[in-house]
Amino acid sequence: MKSAVVVFPGINRERDMAKALELASGVAPHMIWHAETELPDVDVVAVPGGFSYGDYLRCGAIAARAPIMDAIHRHAARGGYVIGVCNGFQILTEAGLLPGALLRNASLKFACKVVRLRVDNADTAFSNAYAAGAVIRNPIAHGEGNYFADAETIARLEGDGRVVFRYCDAAGETTMAADPNGSLNHIAGILNERGNVLGMMPHPEDFVEPLHGCTEGRGIFDSLVRAVAA
């Protein structure tokens, strides 16, 4: 699997993302600066977390208009895989690659902790390494992770099985106490209509090695390797 990690000013998770992709694929990703206008020949494009452009205007609003974004749109239109994590998810919604928006956390506080996610759809390019209904742990670190969309969009996401990950407790139950940001329907990660673009607020790249104390994020990257090889 060949991949690229896009780097914007203020992004700070690009090396973690690159490490996770390399561990899964055995191939070091290309690091692509935001001012580039073309992508190399890759299977997967990753938009990592951080605070692109200092989160001015809105989280991801400026990055979504960077020169490289046209190439990412073309990559997705060709069926290439795109994963956006945390600020990357915000960028993908601002760019129109995913529906909805990420609002301020309901607590109005920055949330930084380990949460549990339920795998609601294991039949995707990003989750096929997990069992449906599996509960996995991933860290979060965000102030604006509260997923919101209009009722029609939420109904389509739910009806099409495009909610891949949902905040839950240890038993897999979705509760307000287990939802760190107030997201509608406890949504943590969604797909586009075609199923080749994923956005999620938790950081799977943080949990890919035993040294991290948990490897439950590794499945997302292993899933991509499987999907590309299929």
- Among 131, 128, 105, which residue's Cα sits nearest to residue 118? 131
Q: Residues with catalytic annotation?
A: 86, 203, 205
Whole-number pLDDT of residue 48: 99
- Among 6, 5, 74, 12, which residue's Cα sits nearest to residue 35? 6
Question: In sequence order, which ranges of 105-230 are alpha helices (DSSP H)?
Answer: 151-159, 218-229
Neighbours of 204 (CB within 10 A): 26
Neighbours of 207 (CB within 10 A): 22
Helix (H), strand (E) at residue 164: strand 163-168
Helix (H), strand (E) at residue 73: helix 68-77
Whole-number pLDDT of residue 62: 97
- Among 12, 74, 20, which residue's Cα sits nearest to residue 42? 74
Whole-number pLDDT of residue 85: 99
Which fold would CATH assign to domain 3-229? Rossmann fold (3.40.50)
Whole-number pLDDT of residue 136: 99
Q: What is the dihedral of CA 148, 154, 157, 163, to 10 degrees?
A: 50
In the chain, where are the structural domains located? Answer: 3-229
Whole-number pLDDT of residue 32: 99
Whole-number pLDDT of residue 54: 93
Q: Average pLDDT by consecutive 10-residue portion of the chain (230 residues)? A: 98 98 98 98 99 93 98 99 99 99 98 99 99 98 98 98 99 97 99 99 98 96 98
